[in-house]
A = this chain, B = another copy of it.
Protein backbone atom coordinates (compact mmCIF):
# COMPACT_ATOMS: atom_id res chain seq x y z
CA UNK A 1 0.00 0.00 0.00
CA UNK A 2 2.93 2.31 0.61
CA UNK A 3 3.89 1.73 -3.00
CA UNK A 4 0.48 2.91 -4.15
CA UNK A 5 0.63 5.98 -1.94
CA UNK A 6 4.12 6.88 -3.17
CA UNK A 7 3.15 6.28 -6.79
CA UNK A 8 -0.04 8.33 -6.51
CA UNK A 9 1.91 11.24 -5.08
CA UNK A 10 4.25 11.13 -8.05
CA UNK A 11 1.37 11.01 -10.52
CA UNK A 12 -0.46 13.86 -8.81
CA UNK A 13 2.74 15.91 -8.83
CA UNK A 14 3.22 15.60 -12.58
CA UNK A 15 -0.48 16.17 -13.15
CA UNK A 16 -0.06 19.62 -11.66
CA UNK A 17 2.78 20.44 -14.05
CA UNK A 18 1.55 18.92 -17.32
CA UNK A 19 -0.49 21.93 -18.28
CA UNK A 20 -0.62 21.39 -22.02
CA UNK A 21 -1.92 17.87 -21.61
CA UNK A 22 -4.44 19.12 -19.07
CA UNK A 23 -5.60 21.80 -21.49
CA UNK A 24 -6.17 19.19 -24.18
CA UNK A 25 -7.95 16.93 -21.70
CA UNK A 26 -10.36 19.70 -20.78
CA UNK A 27 -10.98 20.50 -24.44
CA UNK A 28 -11.84 16.89 -25.22
CA UNK A 29 -13.53 15.79 -22.01
CA UNK A 30 -17.10 16.16 -23.20
CA UNK A 31 -16.35 14.66 -26.58
CA UNK A 32 -14.70 11.49 -25.15
CA UNK A 33 -12.80 10.88 -28.40
CA UNK A 34 -11.34 7.54 -27.35
CA UNK A 35 -14.56 6.03 -26.13
CA UNK A 36 -14.44 2.30 -26.60
CA UNK A 37 -11.04 2.37 -28.26
CA UNK A 38 -8.32 0.00 -27.15
CA UNK A 39 -4.87 1.47 -26.69
CA UNK A 40 -1.72 -0.57 -26.06
CA UNK A 41 1.22 1.35 -24.64
CA UNK A 42 4.85 0.40 -24.21
CA UNK A 43 6.73 3.25 -22.62
CA UNK A 44 9.11 3.95 -19.76
CA UNK A 45 6.73 3.53 -16.89
CA UNK A 46 7.12 6.47 -14.57
CA UNK A 47 4.82 9.24 -13.41
CA UNK A 48 4.59 11.27 -16.61
CA UNK A 49 3.79 8.33 -18.86
CA UNK A 50 1.43 7.01 -16.24
CA UNK A 51 -0.48 10.26 -16.20
CA UNK A 52 -0.66 10.18 -20.01
CA UNK A 53 -2.27 6.76 -19.74
CA UNK A 54 -4.67 8.15 -17.15
CA UNK A 55 -5.67 10.96 -19.50
CA UNK A 56 -6.29 8.54 -22.36
CA UNK A 57 -8.39 6.49 -19.99
CA UNK A 58 -10.32 9.55 -18.84
CA UNK A 59 -11.01 10.38 -22.48
CA UNK A 60 -12.67 7.01 -22.96
CA UNK A 61 -9.89 4.60 -23.93
CA UNK A 62 -9.27 1.13 -22.58
CA UNK A 63 -5.57 1.27 -21.87
CA UNK A 64 -3.06 -1.50 -21.30
CA UNK A 65 0.48 -0.48 -20.54
CA UNK A 66 3.91 -2.01 -20.03
CA UNK A 67 7.40 -0.62 -19.86
CA UNK A 68 9.63 -0.12 -22.90
CA UNK A 69 12.77 -0.96 -20.98
CA UNK A 70 13.21 -3.61 -18.29
CA UNK A 71 14.76 -1.21 -15.78
CA UNK A 72 12.80 1.96 -16.43
CA UNK A 73 9.68 0.90 -14.54
CA UNK A 74 9.07 2.64 -11.23
CA UNK A 75 7.23 0.01 -9.25
CA UNK A 76 5.34 2.45 -7.04
CA UNK A 77 3.99 4.26 -10.09
CA UNK A 78 3.02 0.97 -11.71
CA UNK A 79 1.07 -0.08 -8.63
CA UNK A 80 -0.60 3.29 -8.29
CA UNK A 81 -1.55 3.44 -11.93
CA UNK A 82 -3.73 0.35 -11.48
CA UNK A 83 -5.90 2.33 -9.07
CA UNK A 84 -6.69 4.80 -11.85
CA UNK A 85 -8.32 2.12 -13.99
CA UNK A 86 -5.44 1.36 -16.32
CA UNK A 87 -4.30 -2.22 -17.03
CA UNK A 88 -0.66 -2.37 -15.98
CA UNK A 89 1.83 -5.13 -16.71
CA UNK A 90 5.25 -3.93 -15.62
CA UNK A 91 7.90 -4.57 -13.02
CA UNK A 92 11.42 -3.24 -12.63
CA UNK A 93 13.59 -6.24 -13.35
CA UNK A 94 16.43 -7.43 -15.52
CA UNK A 95 14.46 -10.57 -16.35
CA UNK A 96 14.20 -10.49 -20.16
CA UNK A 97 11.56 -13.19 -20.25
CA UNK A 98 9.33 -11.22 -17.94
CA UNK A 99 9.83 -8.17 -20.15
CA UNK A 100 8.46 -9.94 -23.23
CA UNK A 101 5.74 -11.65 -21.25
CA UNK A 102 4.44 -8.26 -20.18
CA UNK A 103 4.55 -6.98 -23.74
CA UNK A 104 2.42 -9.92 -24.79
CA UNK A 105 0.01 -9.29 -21.90
CA UNK A 106 -0.55 -5.76 -23.12
CA UNK A 107 -1.38 -7.01 -26.59
CA UNK A 108 -4.22 -9.09 -25.22
CA UNK A 109 -6.24 -5.88 -25.21
CA UNK A 110 -6.40 -6.19 -29.04
CA UNK A 111 -5.34 -2.61 -29.63
CA UNK A 112 -6.76 -0.19 -32.16
CA UNK A 113 -3.94 2.22 -31.47
CA UNK A 114 -0.39 1.37 -30.39
CA UNK A 115 1.76 3.84 -28.48
CA UNK A 116 5.32 2.71 -28.78
CA UNK A 117 8.72 3.80 -27.47
CA UNK A 118 11.60 2.06 -29.17
CA UNK A 119 9.41 -0.09 -31.47
CA UNK A 120 9.45 -3.25 -29.38
CA UNK A 121 5.67 -3.37 -29.19
CA UNK A 122 4.94 -2.80 -32.86
CA UNK A 123 7.65 -5.14 -34.07
CA UNK A 124 6.44 -7.81 -31.65
CA UNK A 125 3.06 -7.61 -33.36
CA UNK A 126 4.60 -7.92 -36.80
CA UNK A 127 6.71 -10.87 -35.78
CA UNK A 128 4.48 -12.79 -33.40
CA UNK A 129 0.90 -11.53 -33.56
CA UNK A 130 0.11 -10.56 -37.17
CA UNK A 131 -3.51 -11.47 -36.49
CA UNK A 132 -3.79 -8.32 -34.38
CA UNK A 133 -2.99 -6.08 -37.34
CA UNK A 134 -6.49 -6.03 -38.72
CA UNK A 135 -7.71 -4.08 -35.69
CA UNK A 136 -4.80 -1.68 -35.61
CA UNK A 137 -5.33 1.73 -37.17
CA UNK A 138 -1.88 3.10 -36.51
CA UNK A 139 1.14 3.35 -34.28
CA UNK A 140 2.64 6.35 -32.48
CA UNK A 141 6.40 6.07 -32.06
CA UNK A 142 8.24 8.30 -29.59
CA UNK A 143 11.98 7.81 -30.11
CA UNK A 144 14.77 8.23 -32.64
CA UNK A 145 15.60 4.58 -32.19
CA UNK A 146 12.04 3.40 -32.77
CA UNK A 147 11.68 5.55 -35.88
CA UNK A 148 14.92 4.15 -37.26
CA UNK A 149 13.51 0.64 -36.80
CA UNK A 150 10.12 1.42 -38.31
CA UNK A 151 11.81 3.03 -41.30
CA UNK A 152 13.96 -0.07 -41.74
CA UNK A 153 10.75 -2.09 -41.63
CA UNK A 154 9.22 0.20 -44.25
CA UNK A 155 12.32 -0.16 -46.43
CA UNK A 156 11.97 -3.93 -46.15
CA UNK A 157 8.38 -3.61 -47.32
CA UNK A 158 7.08 -5.02 -44.07
CA UNK A 159 5.44 -2.06 -42.40
CA UNK A 160 1.79 -3.05 -42.09
CA UNK A 161 0.15 0.10 -40.66
CA UNK A 162 0.90 3.82 -40.62
CA UNK A 163 3.37 5.10 -38.03
CA UNK A 164 3.02 8.58 -36.64
CA UNK A 165 6.56 9.75 -36.08
CA UNK A 166 6.21 11.70 -32.85
CA UNK A 167 10.00 11.97 -32.61
CA UNK A 168 10.28 14.11 -35.72
CA UNK A 169 7.58 16.55 -34.73
CA UNK A 170 9.11 19.93 -33.94
CA UNK A 171 7.54 20.09 -30.49
CA UNK A 172 9.19 16.76 -29.70
CA UNK A 173 12.73 16.73 -31.01
CA UNK A 174 13.50 20.40 -30.48
CA UNK A 175 12.58 20.14 -26.81
CA UNK A 176 12.43 16.59 -25.45
CA UNK A 177 15.58 15.38 -27.20
CA UNK A 178 17.57 18.49 -26.42
CA UNK A 179 16.45 20.10 -23.16
CA UNK A 180 14.91 16.93 -21.75
CA UNK A 181 17.82 14.60 -22.37
CA UNK A 182 20.27 17.34 -21.49
CA UNK A 183 18.92 18.02 -18.01
CA UNK A 184 17.88 14.51 -17.05
CA UNK A 185 21.08 12.80 -18.17
CA UNK A 186 23.14 15.04 -15.90
CA UNK A 187 20.61 14.65 -13.12
CA UNK A 188 21.07 10.89 -13.37
CA UNK A 189 24.86 11.12 -13.42
CA UNK A 190 25.23 13.68 -10.65
CA UNK A 191 22.84 12.13 -8.18
CA UNK A 192 24.41 8.70 -8.72
CA UNK A 193 27.99 9.80 -8.26
CA UNK A 194 28.13 13.07 -6.31
CA UNK A 195 31.14 13.90 -8.51
CA UNK A 196 32.07 17.34 -9.80
CA UNK A 197 31.34 18.06 -13.45
CA UNK A 198 33.11 21.43 -13.61
CA UNK A 199 36.66 21.15 -14.87
CA UNK A 200 36.20 17.62 -16.18
CA UNK A 201 36.52 16.23 -19.69
CA UNK A 202 33.11 15.05 -20.79
CA UNK A 203 32.97 12.89 -23.91
CA UNK A 204 29.62 12.96 -25.69
CA UNK A 205 29.27 10.32 -28.40
CA UNK A 206 26.80 11.58 -31.00
CA UNK A 207 25.82 15.16 -31.80
CA UNK A 208 22.22 14.69 -32.84
CA UNK A 209 19.52 16.59 -30.98
CA UNK A 210 20.01 14.48 -27.85
CA UNK A 211 23.79 14.81 -28.01
CA UNK A 212 23.48 18.56 -28.49
CA UNK A 213 21.44 18.70 -25.28
CA UNK A 214 23.87 16.58 -23.29
CA UNK A 215 26.85 18.62 -24.54
CA UNK A 216 25.15 21.97 -23.91
CA UNK A 217 24.37 21.08 -20.31
CA UNK A 218 27.83 19.64 -19.69
CA UNK A 219 29.24 22.98 -20.81
CA UNK A 220 26.71 24.75 -18.60
CA UNK A 221 28.00 22.72 -15.68
CA UNK A 222 31.57 23.84 -16.36
CA UNK A 223 32.97 20.85 -18.25
CA UNK A 224 35.24 20.78 -21.27
CA UNK A 225 33.26 18.83 -23.84
CA UNK A 226 34.63 16.44 -26.43
CA UNK A 227 32.26 15.23 -29.13
CA UNK A 228 32.70 12.11 -31.24
CA UNK A 229 30.71 11.81 -34.45
CA UNK A 230 30.50 9.88 -37.68
CA UNK A 231 28.69 12.63 -39.59
CA UNK A 232 31.03 15.34 -40.94
CA UNK A 233 28.37 18.06 -40.87
CA UNK A 234 27.41 17.41 -37.25
CA UNK A 235 31.11 17.20 -36.40
CA UNK A 236 31.71 20.72 -37.74
CA UNK A 237 28.65 21.98 -35.91
CA UNK A 238 30.16 20.63 -32.69
CA UNK A 239 33.46 22.38 -33.45
CA UNK A 240 31.70 25.68 -34.10
CA UNK A 241 29.74 25.29 -30.87
CA UNK A 242 33.10 25.38 -29.09
CA UNK A 243 33.60 21.69 -28.47
CA UNK A 244 36.58 19.47 -29.27
CA UNK A 245 35.96 16.80 -31.89
CA UNK A 246 38.08 13.69 -32.23
CA UNK A 247 37.70 9.95 -32.78
CA UNK A 248 36.72 7.83 -29.78
CA UNK A 249 40.15 6.20 -29.92
CA UNK A 250 41.61 9.52 -28.80
CA UNK A 251 38.76 10.69 -26.61
CA UNK A 252 38.86 7.45 -24.64
CA UNK A 253 42.28 8.39 -23.27
CA UNK A 254 41.32 11.74 -21.82
CA UNK A 255 37.64 11.60 -20.89
CA UNK A 256 36.42 11.70 -17.28
CA UNK A 257 32.73 11.17 -18.06
CA UNK A 258 31.44 9.39 -21.16
CA UNK A 259 27.85 9.70 -22.37
CA UNK A 260 26.63 7.80 -25.43
CA UNK A 261 23.66 9.10 -27.44
CA UNK A 262 24.12 7.62 -30.89
CA UNK A 263 21.40 5.00 -31.33
CA UNK A 264 24.05 2.64 -32.63
CA UNK A 265 25.96 -0.35 -31.27
CA UNK A 266 29.55 -0.65 -30.05
CA UNK A 267 30.34 2.99 -29.53
CA UNK A 268 32.62 2.30 -26.56
CA UNK A 269 34.18 -1.14 -26.54
CA UNK A 270 37.03 -3.17 -25.08
CA UNK A 271 39.81 -1.29 -26.83
CA UNK A 272 38.49 1.96 -25.36
CA UNK A 273 38.01 0.55 -21.86
CA UNK A 274 41.65 -0.50 -21.90
CA UNK A 275 42.80 3.04 -22.74
CA UNK A 276 40.72 4.85 -20.14
CA UNK A 277 42.00 6.63 -17.07
CA UNK A 278 41.35 5.24 -13.63
CA UNK A 279 37.99 6.29 -12.21
CA UNK A 280 36.07 7.29 -15.33
CA UNK A 281 32.28 7.23 -15.39
CA UNK A 282 30.36 5.56 -18.22
CA UNK A 283 26.75 6.45 -18.93
CA UNK A 284 24.37 5.79 -21.76
CA UNK A 285 21.47 8.06 -22.71
CA UNK A 286 20.46 6.21 -25.86
CA UNK A 287 17.50 3.88 -26.05
CA UNK A 288 19.21 0.49 -25.80
CA UNK A 289 22.06 -0.77 -23.61
CA UNK A 290 24.25 -1.45 -26.63
CA UNK A 291 26.22 1.76 -26.99
CA UNK A 292 28.59 1.20 -24.10
CA UNK A 293 29.41 -2.44 -24.81
CA UNK A 294 28.56 -3.92 -21.44
CA UNK A 295 29.34 -7.41 -22.68
CA UNK A 296 32.99 -6.40 -23.02
CA UNK A 297 33.06 -4.99 -19.51
CA UNK A 298 31.53 -8.17 -18.19
CA UNK A 299 34.06 -10.32 -20.00
CA UNK A 300 37.31 -8.51 -19.28
CA UNK A 301 36.84 -7.25 -15.73
CA UNK A 302 38.87 -8.73 -12.90
CA UNK A 303 36.38 -7.57 -10.29
CA UNK A 304 32.84 -6.23 -10.38
CA UNK A 305 30.84 -4.70 -7.56
CA UNK A 306 28.12 -2.16 -6.89
CA UNK A 307 29.73 0.76 -5.08
CA UNK A 308 26.73 3.06 -4.90
CA UNK A 309 23.15 2.48 -5.95
CA UNK A 310 23.19 2.33 -9.73
CA UNK A 311 26.99 2.48 -9.95
CA UNK A 312 28.85 -0.69 -10.93
CA UNK A 313 32.61 -0.68 -10.52
CA UNK A 314 34.47 -2.79 -13.07
CA UNK A 315 38.15 -3.31 -12.44
CA UNK A 316 40.10 -3.66 -15.67
CA UNK A 317 43.04 -6.01 -16.21
CA UNK A 318 45.34 -2.97 -15.95
CA UNK A 319 43.95 -2.25 -12.49
CA UNK A 320 41.92 0.81 -13.48
CA UNK A 321 38.41 1.11 -12.14
CA UNK A 322 35.58 2.12 -14.46
CA UNK A 323 32.14 3.07 -13.16
CA UNK A 324 29.15 2.04 -15.24
CA UNK A 325 25.87 3.78 -14.42
CA UNK A 326 22.49 2.08 -14.56
CA UNK A 327 23.94 -1.07 -16.13
CA UNK A 328 24.41 0.83 -19.36
CA UNK A 329 20.71 1.45 -19.76
CA UNK A 330 19.15 4.91 -20.07
CA UNK A 331 20.86 6.70 -17.19
CA UNK A 332 18.18 9.35 -16.82
CA UNK A 333 15.44 6.77 -16.32
CA UNK A 334 17.27 4.01 -14.51
CA UNK A 335 19.21 6.28 -12.13
CA UNK A 336 16.70 9.13 -12.06
CA UNK A 337 13.15 10.22 -12.78
CA UNK A 338 13.54 10.63 -16.53
CA UNK A 339 12.98 13.81 -18.45
CA UNK A 340 11.58 16.76 -16.52
CA UNK A 341 7.84 17.09 -16.36
CA UNK A 342 7.08 20.16 -18.47
CA UNK A 343 9.19 18.82 -21.33
CA UNK A 344 7.35 15.52 -21.39
CA UNK A 345 4.12 17.47 -21.23
CA UNK A 346 4.89 18.50 -24.81
CA UNK A 347 5.84 15.03 -26.00
CA UNK A 348 2.84 13.35 -24.46
CA UNK A 349 0.50 16.03 -25.72
CA UNK A 350 1.80 15.12 -29.15
CA UNK A 351 1.14 11.47 -28.32
CA UNK A 352 -2.43 12.31 -27.41
CA UNK A 353 -2.88 14.33 -30.57
CA UNK A 354 -1.20 11.62 -32.63
CA UNK A 355 -3.55 9.00 -31.23
CA UNK A 356 -6.51 11.26 -31.91
CA UNK A 357 -5.29 11.82 -35.45
CA UNK A 358 -4.99 8.08 -36.04
CA UNK A 359 -8.49 7.54 -34.78
CA UNK A 360 -10.00 10.35 -36.82
CA UNK A 361 -8.23 9.31 -40.01
CA UNK A 362 -8.34 5.57 -39.66
CA UNK A 363 -7.99 3.94 -43.04
CA UNK A 364 -7.04 7.23 -44.70
CA UNK A 365 -3.43 7.53 -43.62
CA UNK A 366 -0.78 6.29 -46.03
CA UNK A 367 1.20 3.36 -44.67
CA UNK A 368 4.38 5.27 -44.01
CA UNK A 369 6.37 6.88 -41.23
CA UNK A 370 5.67 10.58 -40.81
CA UNK A 371 5.22 13.29 -38.19
CA UNK A 372 1.94 14.70 -36.99
CA UNK A 373 0.62 17.36 -39.35
CA UNK A 374 2.30 20.73 -38.85
CA UNK A 375 -0.96 22.28 -37.63
CA UNK A 376 -1.03 19.83 -34.73
CA UNK A 377 2.54 20.77 -33.83
CA UNK A 378 1.67 24.44 -34.06
CA UNK A 379 -1.38 24.03 -31.89
CA UNK A 380 0.66 22.38 -29.13
CA UNK A 381 3.08 25.29 -29.34
CA UNK A 382 0.30 27.83 -29.00
CA UNK A 383 -1.15 26.09 -25.96
CA UNK A 384 2.31 25.88 -24.42
CA UNK A 385 2.87 29.61 -24.89
CA UNK A 386 -0.48 30.24 -23.26
CA UNK A 387 0.35 28.06 -20.24
CA UNK A 388 3.58 30.04 -19.86
CA UNK A 389 1.71 33.34 -20.09
CA UNK A 390 3.76 34.48 -23.08
CA UNK A 391 2.41 36.61 -25.91
CA UNK A 392 4.11 36.88 -29.26
CA UNK A 393 3.72 39.07 -32.31
CA UNK A 394 1.34 38.35 -35.14
CA UNK A 395 2.00 39.04 -38.77
CA UNK A 396 0.04 41.95 -40.20
CA UNK A 397 -1.69 41.47 -43.55
CA UNK A 398 1.00 43.69 -45.11
CA UNK A 399 3.73 41.50 -43.68
CA UNK A 400 2.08 38.34 -44.94
CA UNK A 401 1.67 39.86 -48.37
CA UNK A 402 5.32 40.86 -48.43
CA UNK A 403 6.42 37.35 -47.49
CA UNK A 404 4.44 35.92 -50.36
CA UNK A 405 5.68 38.43 -52.88
CA UNK A 406 8.72 38.29 -55.14
CA UNK A 407 8.63 41.89 -56.25
A residues sitting closer than 8 Å to B (CB atoms) are: 9-10, 12-14, 16-17, 47, 119, 123, 148-150, 152-153, 155-156, 158, 170-171, 174-175, 178-180, 182-183, 187, 190-191, 194-199, 217, 219-224, 228-233, 235-237, 239-248, 250, 263-266, 279, 290, 307-308, 311, 321, 336-338, 340-343, 377-378, 381-382, 384-385, 388, 390-396, 398-399, 402-407
Determine how close the nearest CB of chain B comes to the CB of A387; give it in whole angstroms.
11
Q: Which of A175, A279, A395 has the most CB of B within 10 A?
A: A175
Report which of B148, B191, B245, B392 forms a contact with A235, defined as CB distance below 8 A.
B392
Docked CA distance A232–B391 (Å) = 9
Which B residues touch A241, using CB under 8 A?
Answer: 198-199, 222
Per the bound structure, the CA–CA distance linking A101 and B223 in Å amounts to: 43
* With A221-B183, A240-B175: A150-B391 Cβ-Cβ less than 8 Å: no
A233: B residues at CB distance < 8 A: 170-171, 174, 377-378, 381
Instruction: Please measure, in the bound complex, the distance between the C-alpha atom of A158 and the C-alpha atom of B189, giving whole angstroms.
Output: 47
Q: How far is the CB of A179 from chain B (nearest CB, A)?
A: 5
**From residue A95, how far is it (CB to closest CB) to chain B in Å?**
21
**Complex partner residue of A381 from B232, B246, B264, CB under 8 angstroms:** B232
**B190 touching A247 by the CB < 8 A rule?**
no
Q: How many copies does the complex hold?
A: 4
Minimum CB–CB distance from A276 to chain B (whole Å) comes to 14
Asked whether A239 lies within 8 Å of B308 as measured between CB atoms, the reply is no
* CA gap between A196 and B388 in the complex, in Å: 13
The answer to whether A393 and B341 touch across the interface, beta carbons within 8 angstroms, is: no
Q: Which 7 A-B pairs have the closest CB atoms?
A: A220-B220, A232-B381, A152-B406, A196-B340, A149-B406, A153-B406, A199-B239
- Asked if B246 contacts A391 (CB within 8 A), the reply is yes
A12 near B230 (CB under 8 angstroms)?
no
Q: Which residues of B contact A384 (CB under 8 A)?
A: 232, 236
- Report yes or no: A342 in contact with B239, Cβ–Cβ below 8 A: no
Once the chains bind, are A404 and B307 in contact (CB under 8 Å)? no
Closest to A17 in B: B195
Write out the residue numbers on chain B whose beta carbons fall within 8 Å of the beta carbon of A197: 183, 340
Least Cβ distance of A226 to chain B in Å? Answer: 10
In the bound complex, residues from chain B placing their C-beta under 8 Å from that of A342 are 195-196
In the complex, the answer to whether B195 meets A191 with C-beta atoms within 8 Å is no
Residues of the B chain whose Cβ atoms lie less than 8 Å from the Cβ of A222: 179, 183, 220, 240-242
Chain B residues positioned under 8 Å from A266 (CB to CB): 396, 398-399
Asked if A183 contacts B174 (CB within 8 A), the reply is: no
